[in-house]
Amino acid sequence: MAMYVLYESSSGYALFDVHGLNEIGQNVEAVQSSVSDLAQFRQVVKLTAFHPWQTAQDALNQINAVSEGFMSEELRSFLDLNFPKVEEGVEPKFSLGVSEPRLGSSIFEATKIPCQSNEFVQELLRGVRQHFDSFINDFKPGGLEKAQHGLAHSYSRAKVKYNVNREDHMVIQTISLLDTLDKDINSYAMRTREWYSPHFPELDKIVNDNYMYAQASKIIEDKSKLSEEHVPVLTEVLGGDEDKAREVVEAGQASMGLDLSPLDLLHAQTFAQGVIDLTDYRKKLYDYLVVKVKDVAPNLAALIGETVAARLISHAGSLINLAKHPSSTLQILGAERALFRALRTGGKTPKHGLIFHSSFIGRASARNKGRMARCLAGKCSIAARVDYFGDSSSADFGEKLRGQVEERLDSLHNVYAMEEVLEDEEIVDASGEEIDEEEAAADDDE
């Protein structure tokens, strides 16, 4: 049986005839010994046809198709031109050696040309690769190396192109940064209150929100300068509450706080401005997280919410890791320490981890939280797999799964409500029977 090998170079497709197959047989060691010697290797293979690329983009498209195991129309035309048509029911008298088994399967399905990709074929292709410029006489000096370098760079850039499945790294970094910002904002807000409270202690009790407190202290600065002119500005800062703004002005005018030097007030204002800037940036970052999670995992976000979805992806390490987790593992993600402690001490294992922050778990009764966590974990596992392995970027599956979880929550409420009613009826029946027995005893006494 005649044998050919297909070589995909950086310059084009090349087809070689293994015409020395009778002498060496399918002997890998014989091929290996002949590869180092060009004259000996020419006795094994002979160039049959060569199809050069027309453009660099054409070369990139063909190599991408080969790496993905897909036979392009250009490759099919090349094979049809150089191979006789294989008739149905007739065993072909030739075979084709290819580098990629998936490509061989694709070629066989389309053309019925039998393909093989084994160690013998790989050794032949290694020799072809080593002496390829000797088989093609049209190459300019250094032309093959330049083509290889150019195609390698283009292929590498194409492999690292935008892919939504790789954007989960941004989600992980964003949720980590949000946690860090929360700590920094709390630290800055605490320092702002501690620094400014000796000057205006009444403001600490009137305004509880840290962001509003920082804005108010930035506007007030020196409490001795408070007047009715500050009421509109403070009203806007305090969420439109004019009464609270007037209360701040009145408290400032009658405050028993200490007077601070201009330098101390400057430092207090710096801390307040830090709280404002960090809080504003956190709001923008959260909006970015919501958009990014909806792009990366739309179904998971629709099911469990953007923040909880981001935390699950971050804790798992990536979306693909989360998709590979079974639902039983996903259920307790974030509660590993409690799980290992329970296993070590023989106590009760945790029922939920990060998914506890979902509204479904919060709305469930204490006796139903474990059941809801198990149900929700199963749906989250499905949603994560659809997001990573699915082709659609819509959130239809997530909305459907959310409806199923809602139905499960309602059914649990209804079941236990009916059980409570039945328990109450049994109590009533039991008390009624006791009354009847007492009445019967009274009648007997009479």
Given a cut of 90, is residue 36 above it in pLDDT?
no
SS3 label, residue 93: coil
Rounded to the nearest angstrom, the gap between the alpha carbon of residue 180 and the centroid of all alpha carbons in its chain is: 21
CATH number, domain of 245, equals 1.10.287.4070
Shared domain check, 226 and 118: no
| Confidence (pLDDT) at 20 | 61
Please report whether residue 167 resides in a domain: no
The verdict on residue 178 lying in a domain is: no
Residue with tokens 């009826």: 425
> Where is 3: in which H helix or E strand?
strand 2-8
Neighbours of 151 (CB within 10 A): 19
Residue 441 three-state SS: helix
Q: Are 252 and 203 in contact (CB under 8 A)?
A: yes
Domain check: are 64 and 90 in the same one? yes
Give whole-number Cα distances, 356 to 120, 294, 299, 348, 370, in Å.
57, 21, 18, 17, 10
Residues 283 and 385 in one domain: no
> Higher model confidence: residue 205 or residue 44?
205
- Give tens-digit pLDDT for 301-314: 999 999 999 999 99
Q: What is the CA radius of gyration of the chain?
A: 38
Residues 246 and 302 in one domain: no
Domain count, the chain: 3
Q: Confirm whether 173 is domain-assigned.
A: no
Q: Report the alpha-carbon distance of residue 95 to residue 74 in Å, rounded.
A: 20
In this prediction, residue 164 carries a pLDDT of: 47
Distance CA 285, CA 175 (A): 9
Q: Return the closest-CA partner of residue 15 out of 70, 73, 75.
A: 75
**Is residue 165 domain-resident?**
no
Query: Does residue 16 belong to any structural domain of this protein?
Result: yes
Question: Is the pLDDT score of 26 beyond 60?
Answer: no
Domain match, 250 and 219 both: yes
CATH number at residue 154: 3.30.420.220
Whether 259 and 198 have beta carbons less than 8 Å apart is answered as no
Confirm whether 101 is domain-assigned. yes
Is 351 domain-assigned? Answer: yes
Rounded-to-integer distance, Cα 49 and Cα 111, Å: 18
| Domain that includes residue 105, residue range | 2-159
Please tell me the least confidently modeled range out of 37-41, 212-216, 226-230, 286-290: 37-41
Give CA–CA dist 14/205, Å, rounded.
Answer: 82
Give the other-Cβ count within 10 Å of 434's Cβ.
Answer: 10
pLDDT mean over 338-359: 89
Q: Please, are residues 239 and 175 in contact by the beta-carbon 8 Å criterion? A: no
From the CB of residue 101, how many other CB atoms can be counted at a distance below 10 Å?
13
Mean pLDDT score, 87-103: 80
**pLDDT value of position 377:** 92
**Apex 288 CA angle, 287 and 294, nearest 5:** 95
